[in-house]
Amino acid sequence: MSEETSILPVQSVYPLDDCVVEGTVLNREPLIMRFERVLTDDECRELIESAAPRLKESRLVNKVVSEIRTSRGMFFEEDESPFISRIERRIAQLMHVPVEHAEGLQVLHYGPGQEYRAHHDYFAPGTPSARNNRISTLVIYLNDVEEGGETVFPLLEIAVKPKRGSAVYFEYFYGNPELNHLTLHSSAPVIRGEKWVATQWMRRQRVRGHGLITR
């Protein structure tokens, strides 16, 4: 089978403008990687502190509380502070996509028993959002979880354990739709402790300054 080109060049070390990130391949096609040291402990704490007062229950467009995701979440505005801009630029550089393609950074909080059931991050073909669809995701773990809370790829039998400052990366912009489908993923219920993550979704085309995103 011919190999498709990934968005992210596969390396074991990613020297970025303001830090050096280590990468480990978990799966080649679709590409799934684990990154270490994406954020410092202080940056994780600052993200949690800024997000905590702004968390909301996850609701679907019809205002019904979502059953697929029982965590609470919030979105930062794009470039909303020098701190957020610095994190956004670092993430974009790591994900190898211009920062103009980045949605607002999302923070999710899961308490015991809370989960995110299996889903794809891309929009179903044919829907309005799919015209400028998502192409890749970075989920950064902002704390250590005592038990549970793994990010799971059930079709690939991969489970990633949260560790503060580390991240899981995956992409789903392949010509072969079956590869994109294999990125089905979930957050296992937290069993003990709590779980904080920051999620960055990238779009195929720029979204900043164009008002294209509908949430």
Q: The tokens 């799971």 sit on which residue?
A: 152
Nearer to ligand PD2, 93 or 137 (CB): 137
From 116, 169, 170, 173, residue interacting with ligand PD2 (rule: CB under 6 A): 116
Does 150 bind Zn ion (CB under 5 A)? Our answer is no
Total interface residues for ligand PD2 by CB under 6 A? 11
- Exactly one of 187, 202, 207, 208 binds ligand PD2 (CB under 6 A); that residue is 187
Residue 166 contact partner, candidates ligand PD2, Zn ion, none, CB within 5 to 8 A by sort of partner: none
* CA 115 vs CA 24, 167, 177: distances in Å: 25, 18, 26
31 part of the interface to ligand PD2, by CB under 6 A: no
Three-state DSSP string of 165-202: CCEEEEECCCCCHHHHHCCCEEECCEEECCEEEEEEEE
Question: Could you tell me the smallest distance in angstroms from the CB atom of residue 106 to ligand PD2?
Answer: 6
Q: Report the distance separating Cα 153 and Cα 176, nearest Å.
A: 18
Category of 106 on φ-ψ map: left (φ > 0), alpha (ψ -120 to 50) or beta: beta
Tokens of 181: 């489908």
Binding mask 143-162 for ligand PD2 (x = CB under 6 A): --------x-----------
95 touching ligand PD2, by CB under 6 A: no
Residue matched to tokens 């470039």: 79
Distance in Å, CB of 166 to ligand PD2, minimum: 12
- Size, binding site for Zn ion by CB under 5 A: 1
Question: Which among 97, 62, 91 is positioned nearest to 79, based on CA atoms?
Answer: 91
Q: 32 - beta bridge partners?
A: 27, 170
The 100-139 contact track toward Zn ion, x by CB under 5 A, reads ---------------------x------------------
Q: Which residues bind ligand PD2 (CB under 6 A)?
A: 108, 116, 121, 137, 139, 151, 185-187, 197, 199
